[in-house]
Amino acid sequence: MEWIRVSYLQPAEIRPSLIEAMVATPKVVPYFDLSFQHASPAVLRRMRRFGDSDSFLGLIDRIRTLAPAAGIRSNVIVGFPGESDGDVAVLADFISQARLDVLGVFPYSDEEGTEGAKLSGHLAESVIAERFDMISEFAGEVANQRAEDRLGERVEVLIEELSTEGPLGRARHQGPEVDGTVRFAGALDECSVGELVWGRVAATDGVDLIACEEGSDVRG
């Protein structure tokens, strides 16, 4: 086993020692799947969660101080009962400052038996849809910019697919299926699915990276 990936971390429960341990453990990849859900403290309290934009940004800063190339992803819900225009503005500002690698955005909908279904202040479906479209588009733009920040970065890639367009895989900062990918421009010598290959990011295609070969580290 070469890569160990930790997923779905609760921001309020993360201590500096956990970040330090993850970064210092050789086979644990620098990948932080943080369940923020929102950035407005008012909305988070109604969700029965803890935190705010400043504490979340502080957590991200601590991670990137220890591991500048770390992948950080999260999910947020828009349109939660009681969410105001001001709350949405707080969320948008947080997204801009956080510059996450990937952010999943979901529109709120009632689920039977949940606390949210019983809350007052439910928003019209049209309002939820409008906020969802706006935040989704903005989050996508920020993620694309974050990918461009990786131009020139050296990445280790797990090859998952071979095609005429070049080997395709994912780097340490990319989770399986839910994040971006890395495609090598051109064929790699003696490359096969399951191998770890080093490359350097030469271009981007949205959140996906395009790399050039820089030698290989082949392990079955």
The CATH number for 171's domain is 2.40.50.140
pLDDT in tens, 165-204: 889 999 999 999 889 999 998 766 677 889 999 999 999 9
Same domain for 94 and 15: yes
User: Which pLDDT does position 189 carry in this prediction?
Assistant: 65
Q: Is 209 among the domain residues?
A: yes
CA distance linking residue 23 with residue 30, whole number of Å: 6
pLDDT bin (cut points 50, 70, 90) of residue 218 is very low
If one counts the domains in the chain, the total is 2
CATH number at 45 reads: 3.30.750.200
Cβ atoms within 10 Å of 38's Cβ, excluding its own? 27
pLDDT in tens, 130-163: 999 999 999 999 999 999 999 999 999 999 998 8
Same domain for 159 and 124: no
Domain boundary (149, 181, 206) is at 149
Same domain for 97 and 54: yes
Same domain for 109 and 168: no
Q: Is 130 exposed, middle or buried (0-12, 13-18, 19+ CB in 10 A)?
A: middle
Domain boundary (130, 149, 168) is at 149
Q: Is 1 among the domain residues?
A: no
User: Which pLDDT does position 43 carry in this prediction?
Assistant: 97
Same domain for 137 and 162: no
Q: What DSSP character marks residue 9?
A: B
Helices (H), the chain: 16-24, 41-46, 53-66, 85-98, 125-149
The tokens of 92 are what?
A: 């948008």
**In which domain, by residue range, is 170 found?**
154-217
Same domain for 164 and 62: no
